[in-house]
């Protein structure tokens, strides 16, 4: 089995690849992890991961700038139903649109918009800073194969200023709190996405990645 991590010029792909390699090794799976910018490699893979760091518009431009990549993702993920995981801005790109520095169309796999976080004050008079950066507890976990073995109040690592506001509550798989509810994970059918970075989330992230490698939607 091959896991393709899509390289479109966004993010530290090596850390993601190492996390997936570790998860496969420690769970006794023989999955091959391939970082690639070649749509043919993505089409040949059994599972697809789309990471992303930075602004929505920049990541979108990078993804659409790889000839044939978006068409390949649409065909392999939506039409052929291959397991897909978006990470951080890779998750945000699954939305209908992003409204960071203008309005930009997303892949429209999850009905919703990517909007700026507007946190209320924390406890007392604490002013919550943007970006939301650091460890936060997960909450409101939906029953989902990728969340098997992960419990409310388990921690994950976040770095972001925008969040995906889904229009359909059933597509929100987990929340976190940062001056109010923040989308931590979304999904439907064979696609899922995490706002947090599983590759940086230690035991929680390793569990989620292992679940993804075993997922048969």
Please classify residue 101 by burial: count the beta carbons closer than 10 Å to its beta carbon, then call 0-12 exposed, 13-18 middle and 19+ buried.
exposed
Q: How far is CA 143 from CA 67, 135, 147, 149, 188, in A?
A: 37, 22, 7, 11, 12
Question: Among residues 59, 76, 88, 100, which one is catalytic?
Answer: 88
DSSP label of 79? I
* 93-to-61, 124, 128, 145, 197 alpha-carbon distances in Å: 11, 35, 25, 22, 15
Give yes or no: 197 in active site: yes
DSSP one-letter code for 169: G
Please confirm, yes or no, whether 59 is among the known catalytic residues. no
The answer to whether 26 is a known catalytic residue is no
The string of DSSP letters for 104-157 reads EE---SEEEEEEE------STTPPPPSSEEEEEEEESPPP-GGGTT--TT-EEE
Which residues are the active-site residues? 88, 197, 199
């Amino acid at each position: 089995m091959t896991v393709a991590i899509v390289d479109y010029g966004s993010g530290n792909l090596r850390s993601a690849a190492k996390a997936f390699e570790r998860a496969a090794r420690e769970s006794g799976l023989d999955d091959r992890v391939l970082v690639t910018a070649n749509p043919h490699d993505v089409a040949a893979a059994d599972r697809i991961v789309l990471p992303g760091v930075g602004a929505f518009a920049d990541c979108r431009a990078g993804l659409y700038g790889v000839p044939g990549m978006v068409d390949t993702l649409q065909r392999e993920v939506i039409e052929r139903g291959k397991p897909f995981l978006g990470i951080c801005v890779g998750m945000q790109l699954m939305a209908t649109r992003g409204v960071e520095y203008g309005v930009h169309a997303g892949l429209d796999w999850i009905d919703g918009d990517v909007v700026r976080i507007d946190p209320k004050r924390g406890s007392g008079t604490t002013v919550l800073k943007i970006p939301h950066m650091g460890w936060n507890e997960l909450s409101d976990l939906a029953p989902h194969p990728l969340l098997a073995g992960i419990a409310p109040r388990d921690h994950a690592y976040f770095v972001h200023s925008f969040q995906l506001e889904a229009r359909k509550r059933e597509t929100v798989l987990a929340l976190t709190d940062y001056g109010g509810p923040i989308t931590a994970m979304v999904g439907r059918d064979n696609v899922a996405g995490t706002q947090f970075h599983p590759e940086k989330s230690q035991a929680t992230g390793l569990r989620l990645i292992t679940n993804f490698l075993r997922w048969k939607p």
